[in-house]
A and B are shown apart, each in its own frame.
Chain A
Amino acid sequence: MDVVAAENVGKDYAAGKVTVRALEGVSFRIAAGSFVSFVGPSGSGKTTLLNLIGCLDRPTRGTLSVAGTDVARLDRRRGALFRGQNIGFIFQDFNLIPVLTVYENVEYPLVMVRGVDIKDRRDKVTKLIEEVGIGAERNKYPDQLSGGQKQRVAVARALVTSPGLVLADEPTANLDSRTAAMIIGLMKKMRDNLGTTFIFSTHDMRIVDTAEVIHTLQDGKLTSTVKTNAKKKGEQNAEAG
């Protein structure tokens, strides 16, 4: 079953009086439980496409279905509800809430978005932060963590609501190569454990080949789609981490 289905998706931006065509005629399908990357140079449209898949923006043209829902039809409130139910986000700059501890950051979507009761929250958050390897840091604040630890928290936060899809925009851009490999390995391990679909964008050639499906974007157009045999490598990285 496809988690994401895009058909001739296009996106235009107005930059002053000029209209910028950020995406044009992009079509693809992403199967549930896959580990997919969008690669391409800066300005190729990776972030724009991830924003569309994440219902943070709406396509100008074409149809885009996420988890069986036409996301172009969602208004602000329903978009928020949809994201809260179906999508987890991992950001390049981690985007943790600085006034919350590691535990509270991971717990946040369960409290503020899902309204899960305290016992279920405790069980789920504790299990997840142990799984991503930050159990010892549970009471620390983001400014007391390294970049790798912050991104682990972000991975746990993205997964805590058990979404069908996790979107990661340049998740390793602010990490050194060893930590980047660990984070990608962790994401893959979580995909294997939970069956969550991971889509990440990157222009970092060190991690591109960790994806099982690589979509390449160039000047807003999808130029190639390649299936790799990266599963084994990802497992090895996770073990190393």
Chain B
Amino acid sequence: MLKLVKISLRNLFRYKRRTLLTMSLITIGVAFVLVFVSVTASFKAMMVGEITDSMLGHIQIHRKGYVASIDNLPLNLNLNPRSWHKVEQVLTDMPEVEAYSPRIKFGGVFSNFIESTNIRLNAVDPEKELATVPLLASRFRSANNTIRQGEILVPELLAKGMNVEVGDVAVVVATNEDGSVNGYQFTVGGIVRSVTGPGGRDGYIHIEDGRQILRLEEPEISEVAIRLKKLDALESVEGRLQETLGREKNPKGKPAFEIHTWKKLTPFFNVVRMIDIMTFFIKLMLIAIVLISVMNVMIMAVYERTREIGTIAAIGTLPGRILSMFVIEGLSLGLLGAVSGTVLGSLAIVIMNAFKIRFNFGRAEGLILNASLNPVDILTIGLIVVAVAVLAGFRPAFQASRLEPIEALRHI
């Protein structure tokens, strides 16, 4: 076998210029795909992180029908204490769950005593909320980076429009589920930077203040945001939640809960999918490059070495050996291209990271692109290249092995 590989490699480098040109093509293709994959993966990770860690969480649980009406923030679709208790029980038993945060979401009127406007508010337990969406703290422009009782964190656009500053006094008026209107006076505890995505322009108050303003006698909540220890477990945790909570019925015999991952809650998932589709097509282009270039080299090799094939066949080399010889040439070409492409791609990524390329996503500015190569991507792309190279070499190799020695020896 070693002799076969040795002969194949020597044959491959017999036409140095052609082999090196083809190898360069594969190398550049692999390097380009690796850079593209790592940059898009980094961009995706930052984008998903910005969305889930600033506001959304990885998974959300609501009462059935809530998400369809989420624009109205319907109080009559809150989870009752019994349901909330059930959710808490399930989440406590799941080792993959890092944190969860109950939220009361409602709409109201915000007034600074000079003018008033609509406001959407999240009433949260600050400790649980910051554990569930850790980037939330980075959005606060206040002295203490938390949410205290009696204080309101005002969305930055609203604060700017109404000239509200930290320390000002404001009133929030809201209508509760029973229809009674209640007012509550807050001190502006901070300004919240807006983020792209659903709920990205909401204000924050303490969950106890939320209960008081809505006069909730029982601890109802609108949604539970969940953070997982590893995002890879998203689908499996969702599946288990569907199995446990999804089977729960309300007194009318209909499903009591609805469970959504971040993918179903934000339109930015479509951007992620588009990136994945682009990556797929880039990989297809790589396959085409490898297929055509290797096939071209191998067809030429068989044509140019027809007499040689006739000679080795005449002296008794079995067709399978001849086939192997050419397949190994294709495989070597793919392997060398994949390895050198990986080295070149890694180098390009290191250089790119050294330049600290910045970009903006929504209202988040100056995010630094931190591209890194995933071993799975390297392995996948390497395997694709090698497999396609073997495939491309197989047809000419088969043709070589089927040549009649007498015909091949007559070839000029």
Q: Which A residues lie at the B interface, using CB under 8 A? A: 51, 54, 56-57, 76-77, 80-85, 87-89, 91, 95, 97-100, 108-109, 111-113, 157-158, 161
Contacts and interface: CB of A to CB of B under 8 A. Distances in A.
* Chain B interface helix/strand/loop/mixed: helix
17 contacts: A54-B314, A56-B405, A57-B406, A76-B319, A84-B318, A89-B314, A89-B315, A91-B311, A95-B307, A97-B308, A99-B7, A99-B10, A109-B315, A112-B317, A112-B321, A157-B315, A161-B316
Contacts of B20: none
A89 B7 CA distance: 21
Contacts of B315: 83-84, 88-89, 108-109, 113, 157-158
B47 interface: no
Nearest to B402: A76
A56 B313 CA distance: 9
B273 interface: no
Interface string B290-329: 0000000000000000011011111111110100000000
Nearest to A97: B308
Contacts, number: 69
Interface in B387-412: 404-406, 409
Interface of B: 3-4, 7, 10-11, 14, 307-308, 310-319, 321, 404-406, 409
Contact of A113 (B10, B14, B308, B317): B317
CB-CB nearest 6 A-B residue pairs: A84-B316, A99-B10, A113-B316, A95-B311, A56-B406, A83-B316
Contact of B319 (A77, A89, A95, A158): A77
Contacts of A80: 313, 316-319
B300 to A, nearest CB: 16
Given A56-B406, A56-B409, A112-B3, A98 B318 contact: no
User: Among the interface residues A56, A83, A85, which one has the most CB atoms of the partner chain B within 10 A?
Assistant: A56
Contact of A85 (B7, B307, B316): B316
A95 B313 CA distance: 12
Contacts of B10: 99-100
A97 to B, nearest CB: 6
Contact of B14 (A54, A77, A95, A98): A98
Contacts of B317: 80, 84, 112-113
Contact of A97 (B311, B318, B319, B404): B311
A98 B409 CA distance: 15
A157 B317 CA distance: 13
